[in-house]
């Protein structure tokens, strides 16, 4: 790049304009960045502190949005109601009916005049119009519901540094100049420049379409919105937001239609197709018979006259008669083809999603709600899911002795205290903020980090001072596989310290020394090692999470000089000096034991995963009710992750159903167990909140994430979000999932009963006398109440506790059970018998011997009324498929009465 001077400012409020920032982000030229003075120079031009961020007051935010835009992008306009009306009009059956109605209307008016001739065609057209409008209204409401749900799931919340403190804001509220902390698994929320010198591994597959891992450091500091942090941690300065980023441009041009077909809808499409073929076949028979009878002169008017006489009947009358027959046949298709079955899933899902949202449960993917009704196993992370994720240090050992209380820093020797404070302050992703003029402190970070930072403050740590006394030269991000994380620092006297923190027994195994109460360096003898191991076991038995803190000095001349050397210097993790072991308490969530017991009663097994050691896992599982007693806390019910992953595929599949608790588990262990259970035919739901839970959440049949304390990647990998982090909400999801299946089965029974009855009535009447008891208008009316009002009443039944006493719905269990076939058969026999009796033997007082048009019309009206009344009783019968008392809970079903 040729030498240039820094471009002049393009606005009066900031020293750099949007065009220059866009050019920086697009070209990603470090030479151009240096012209502005690097990231420090850009931050000065943006009036931002790299340490404390922007001021963040309303006036400051408004200035930045006015100069650089907001972190949003244009959305596709929502479909209007008329679009759904147009799509409903495209239904082939309705199109045939409308064409038939137009022909009948024209022929009727021509032959009988406007006053008498509009009835047949006009009535059919009006009924078809109502069907179209009601169908469009139903689909439009569902579209709006799903669209709103889609918007909520996009509204991610994340931490930014403003005014020196970490605050949580919506991703849409990010502005240029914000300083944002990034950790493993986080999505880069805007275009920016890496501030910290430590490298980050970034997955840029969302931009390039291929899984490309790019290492970002001071030589390649530009970060693109939409990418994900694969490894490492650091902070970034935002230089581009919204439509001014490549990610924003991609999102602006992508489709915004949240509607998706669920597995249940696909299965119902198959059912509808099968019965549709049957209905079409029967309708074809009706059409053939009616046309044959008509053109052979066997069809008579209500007054007994033959409708068609070859060579005598006018062409207009012949066409009128033929069109009337085609209309009746086509209308029969409307009733016979159960095309409303898939639509009813939308009814049920929309209703369920609305109810779940009211309970702080956000369903991100439609299939998840119905799938939860079939869940047989719930695999749950411990920390933050079964527990409150509000950790505090309740026990501590330093210098080889117990510190009681753990906050008593006076009982810690000076050198040991100095090293502990140094390690706690530098080896962390958290932050301690002391507001000006206030005595209270604000601690941010993960629950474990917050607890240890709080303990550090209690033993005398000044966070800002401790961090200023040394500089970080390399970070070893916490790794879920290794269960530890570290940092290499250089002190003012150029001395190098490497601090480590992680799972107590893993760190302890790498310690060959420890500091005693007199700051003497003591060798870790076998006896002392056993002593510390016993401490860890005792803490674990009290359901405490054990974390060890250790360090080792290092010679400056031996420090690695590049990233590759750092990555392969495993010796830096060995020969450590133990500083302290702390026990963190994380209380179980209220009502967790009752929830677990109710899940087990419902036939849903609960399995607990945790990164803690096996003894801590046992104690928590007993407290939560996952284990009933210590007698059950033996293999293979309780197993460590390393033991499980060492098994062969056949062995894992064999013991998978016996496992209840897995300690020291890695993210891959959860996947292995889920795969083994699925091979055994189970439907798996996984619940988690951490970045390391994301793979299991993504691969499970249903992934559930905690919405408040859940990490960004966990939330995005999930199908359902518990917005209030309330584990007992899982029961509501399971109950509503089962309710969806139950309500759909009710409607299937109701729908098929009507379809079969209407077909049989018309077929029998056609074949025997050529007369159709249910005409086109009447059948359209039946279709209207069947597809909308009947669906609304049955699809919106509230779930009952009885559903939780039943076993889960099997993945391959047929939608139409034997009980439903029995109910349908009984109803059809009953209704057909009543209606045929009225058709062939029915008589009305005062019109017994009257063969006039009026008497026949009254008889047909009586048949139609009886048919409608039968469907009202059919609706009540369909409410309870397996129960004798069909009126149980009927007063609570408001939609049924409305």
Strand order across the beta sheet in which 191-194 lies: 165-170, 157-162, 179-182, 234-240, 191-194, 222-223
Task: Give the residues across from 300 on adjacent strands.
Answer: 306
Return the DSSP state at 175: -
Which of 743, 735, 736 has the alpha carbon at shortest distance from 815?
743
Q: Which of 381, 669, 693, 701 is catalytic?
A: 381
Q: Which residue has the tokens 């033997």?
A: 841
Strands 213-216 and 200-203: antiparallel
The three-state (H, E, C) secondary structure of 211-247, written as one string: CCEEEEECCECEECCCCEEEECCEEEEEEECHHHCHH
Cβ(787)–Cβ(343) below 8 Å:
yes
Burial category of 881 from C-beta neighbours within 10 Å (exposed 0-12, middle 13-18, buried 19 and up): middle
Confirm if 54 and 177 have CB atoms less than 8 A apart: yes
For residues 297 and 311, what is the distance between their CA atoms, to the nearest angstrom? Answer: 11
Alpha-helix runs per DSSP H in 241-305: 246-253, 263-295
Cα distance between residue 108 and residue 112, in whole Å: 6
- Tokens read off for 125: 């057209």
DSSP per position, 632-655: G-STTTEEEHHHHHTS-HHHHHHH
Alpha-carbon span 448 to 893, nearest angstrom: 47
**Phi-psi category of 535—alpha, beta or left, where left has phi over 0 and alpha has psi -120 to 50?**
alpha
Strand partners, 168: 159
* Residue 806 tokens, joined: 């039943």
pLDDT (0 to 100) of residue 249: 67
N-to-C CA span, the chain: 73
3-state secondary structure of 465: helix
How much is the pLDDT for 850?
52
Contacts of 622-631 with CB under 8 Å at 24 or more apart are: 623/543, 623/588, 623/593, 624/386, 624/588, 624/592, 624/593, 624/596, 625/592, 625/593, 625/594, 625/596, 625/597, 626/596, 626/660, 626/661, 627/660, 627/661
Blockwise average pLDDT, block size 10, the chain, 898 residues: 45 79 87 90 92 90 91 75 83 69 72 72 75 76 70 78 89 93 85 86 70 79 86 88 78 53 68 74 80 78 70 78 74 62 69 83 82 90 84 92 88 92 92 75 87 94 92 83 88 90 94 92 93 94 92 86 73 90 90 90 92 88 88 84 90 91 86 87 87 79 84 79 85 89 84 83 73 72 68 78 83 80 91 85 54 70 86 83 69 57
Give the pLDDT score at 435. Answer: 77
d(CA 240, CA 248): 10
What gap in Å lies between CA 563 and CA 572, rounded to an integer? 14
Structure-token pair, residue 664: 């020291």
pLDDT for res 97: 65
Q: What angle do CA 873, 879, 885 make, to 5 degrees?
A: 85
Cβ 449 vs Cβ 423: under 8 Å: no
Q: Which two tokens stand for residue 772?
A: 């159709």
* DSSP label of 387: B
Please, which residues have CB within 8 angstroms of residue 506's CB and are 6 or more apart in sequence?
A: 482, 483, 484, 548
**Strand duo 638-640 + 661-663: pairing:** parallel
Nearest residue to 875 (alpha-carbon basis) of 816, 797, 758:
797
The Cα–Cα gap between 457 and 489 comes to: 20
Give the max Cα distance, the chain.
124
Helix%, strand%, coil% for the chain, nearest 5: 50, 15, 30
Instruction: Please give the pLDDT value at position 512.
Output: 95
Question: Alpha helix (H) ranges present in 296-395?
Answer: 315-336, 340-358, 366-372
Give which of 240, 251, 247 is closest to 67, Cα–Cα: 240
Measured torsion, CA atoms of residues 376, 381, 387, 392, in degrees rounded to the nearest 10: 170
Residue 571 tokens, joined: 């010796």
Q: In Å, how far are 175, 295, 306, 331, 667 from 318, measured between CA atoms?
A: 75, 9, 12, 20, 75
Question: Nearest 5°: phi and psi at 468?
Answer: -80, -20
Q: How far apart, in Å, are the Cα atoms of 585 and each of 28, 548, 590?
A: 46, 15, 15
Active-site residue flag, 404? no
> What is the value of pTM for the model shown?
0.72
**If you ran DSSP here, which 8-state letter would residue 300 be given?**
B
Burial of 262 from C-beta contacts in 10 A (0-12 / 13-18 / 19+): buried
Report yes or no: 871 and 335 within 8 Å, Cβ to Cβ. Answer: no
Beta strands in 91-217 (DSSP E): 157-162, 165-170, 179-182, 191-194, 200-203, 213-216
Phi-psi region of 604 (alpha: psi -120 to 50; beta: other; left: phi over 0): beta
3-state secondary structure of 887: coil
Distance CA 134, CA 149 (A): 23
Q: Crossing angle for the helix pair 729-769 and 853-879, nearest 10 degrees?
A: 150
Give the Cα separation of 161 and 40 in Å (integer): 16
pLDDT for 370 equals 81
Q: Count Cβ neighbours within 10 Å for each residue of 609-637 and write b for 16 or more, e otherwise.
A: bbbbbbbbbbbbbbbbbbbeeeeebeebb
Cα–Cα dist 586/588, whole Å: 7
Helix (H) or strand (E) segment spanning residue 421: helix 414-426
Q: What is the pLDDT of residue 539?
A: 93
């Amino acid at each position: 790049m040729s030498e240039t001077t820094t471009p002049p400012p393009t606005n009066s409020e900031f020293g750099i304009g949007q065009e220059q920032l866009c050019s920086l982000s697009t070209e990603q030229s470090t030479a151009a960045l240096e012209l502005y003075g690097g990231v420090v120079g850009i931050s000065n031009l943006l009036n931002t502190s790299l340490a404390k961020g922007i001021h963040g007051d309303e006036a400051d935010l408004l200035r930045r949005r006015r100069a650089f835009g907001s972190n949003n992008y244009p959305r596709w306009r929502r479909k209007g109601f008329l679009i759904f009306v147009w799509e409903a009009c495209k239904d082939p059956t309705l199109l045939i009916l409308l064409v038939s109605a137009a022909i009948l209307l024209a022929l009727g008016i021509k032959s009988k005049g406007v006053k008498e001739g509009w009835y047949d065609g006009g009535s059919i057209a009006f009924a078809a119009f109502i069907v179209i409008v009601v169908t469009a209204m139903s689909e439009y409401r569902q579209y709006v519901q799903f669209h709103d749900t889609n918007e909520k799931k996009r509204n991610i919340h994340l931490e930014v540094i403003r005014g020196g403190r970490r605050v949580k804001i919506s991703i849409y509220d990010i502005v240029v100049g914000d300083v944002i902390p990034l950790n493993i698994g986080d999505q880069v929320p805007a275009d920016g420049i890496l501030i910290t010198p430590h490298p980050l591994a970034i997955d840029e597959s969302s931009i390039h379409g291929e899984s490309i891992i790019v290492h970002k450091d001071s030589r390649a500091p530009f970060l693109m919105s939409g990418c994900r942090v694969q490894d490492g941690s650091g902070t970034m300065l935002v230089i581009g937001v919204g439509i001014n980023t490549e990610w924003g441009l991609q999102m602006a041009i992508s489709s915004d239609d949240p509607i998706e077909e669920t597995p249940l809808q696909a299965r119902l499409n198959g059912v509808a197709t099968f019965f549709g073929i049957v209905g079409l076949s029967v309708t074809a028979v009706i059409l053939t018979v009616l046309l044959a009878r008509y053109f052979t002169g066997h069809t008579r008017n209500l007054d007994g006259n033959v409708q068609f006489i070859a060579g005598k009947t006018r062409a207009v009358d012949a066409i009128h008669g033929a069109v009337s027959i085609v209309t009746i046949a086509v209308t029969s298709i409307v009733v016979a083809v159960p095309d409303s079955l898939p639509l009813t899933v939308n009814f049920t899902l929309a209703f369920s999603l609305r109810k779940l949202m009211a309970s702080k449960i956000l369903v991100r993917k439609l299939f998840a709600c119905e799938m939860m009704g079939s869940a047989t196993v719930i695999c749950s992370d411990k920390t933050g899911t079964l527990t409150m994720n509000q950790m505090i240090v309740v026990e501590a050992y330093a210098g080889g002795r117990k510190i009681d209380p753990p906050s008593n820093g006076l009982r810690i020797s000076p050198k040991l205290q100095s090293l502990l404070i140094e390690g706690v302050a530098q080896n962390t992703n958290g932050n301690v903020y002391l507001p000006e003029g206030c005595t209270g402190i604000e601690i941010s970070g993960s629950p474990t980090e917050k607890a240890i930072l709080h303990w550090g403050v209690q033993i005398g740590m000044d966070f800002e001072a401790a961090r200023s006394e040394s500089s970080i030269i390399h970070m070893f991000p916490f790794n879920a596989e290794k269960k530890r994380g570290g940092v290499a620092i250089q002190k003012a006297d150029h001395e190098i310290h490497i601090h480590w923190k992680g799972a107590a027994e893993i760190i302890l195994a790498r310690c060959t020394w420890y500091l005693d109460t007199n700051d003497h360096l003591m060798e870790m003898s076998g006896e002392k090692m056993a002593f510390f191991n016993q401490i860890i076991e005792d803490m674990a038995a009290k359901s405490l999470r054990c974390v060890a803190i250790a360090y080792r000095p290092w010679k400056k001349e031996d420090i690695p000089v590049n990233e590759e050397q750092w990555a392969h210097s495993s010796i830096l993790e060995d020969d450590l000096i133990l500083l302290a072991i702390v026990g963190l308490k994380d209380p179980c969530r209220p009502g967790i034991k009752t929830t677990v017991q109710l899940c087990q009663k419902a036939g849903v097994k609960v399995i607990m995963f945790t990164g803690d050691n096996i003894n801590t896992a046992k104690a928590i599982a007993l407290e939560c009710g996952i284990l009933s007693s210590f007698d059950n806390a033996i293999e293979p019910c309780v197993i460590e992750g390393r033991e499980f992953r060492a098994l062969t595929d056949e062995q894992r599949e064999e013991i998978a159903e016996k496992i209840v608790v897995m300690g020291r588990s890695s993210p891959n262990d959860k996947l292995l167990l889920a795969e083994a259970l699925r091979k055994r035919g189970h439907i798996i739901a996984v619940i988690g909140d951490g970045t390391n839970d994301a793979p299991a959440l993504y691969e499970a049949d249903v992934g559930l994430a905690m919405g408040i304390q859940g990490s960004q990647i966990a939330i995005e990998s999930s199908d359902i979000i518990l917005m209030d982090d309330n584990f007992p909400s899982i029961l509501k999801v399971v109950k509503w999932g089962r309710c969806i299946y139950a309500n759909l089965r009710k409607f299937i029974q109701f729908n098929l009963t009507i379809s079969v009855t209407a077909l049989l009535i018309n077929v029998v009447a056609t074949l025997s006398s050529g007369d159709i008891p249910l005409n086109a208008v009447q059948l359209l009316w039946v279709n209207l109440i069947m597809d909308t009002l009947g669906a609304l009443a049955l699809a919106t039944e509230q779930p009952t506790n009885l559903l939780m006493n039943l076993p889960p719905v099997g993945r391959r269990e047929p939608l139409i059970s034997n009980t439903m076939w029995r109910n349908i058969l009984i109803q059809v026999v009953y209704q057909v018998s009543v209606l045929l009796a009225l058709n062939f033997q029915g008589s009305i007082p005062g019109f017994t011997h009257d063969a006039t048009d009026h008497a026949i019309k009254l008889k047909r009206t009586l048949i139609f009324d009886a048919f409608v009344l039968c469907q009202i009783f059919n609706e009540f019968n369909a409410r309870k498929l397996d129960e004798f008392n069909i009126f149980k809970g009927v007063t609570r079903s408001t939609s049924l009465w409305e």
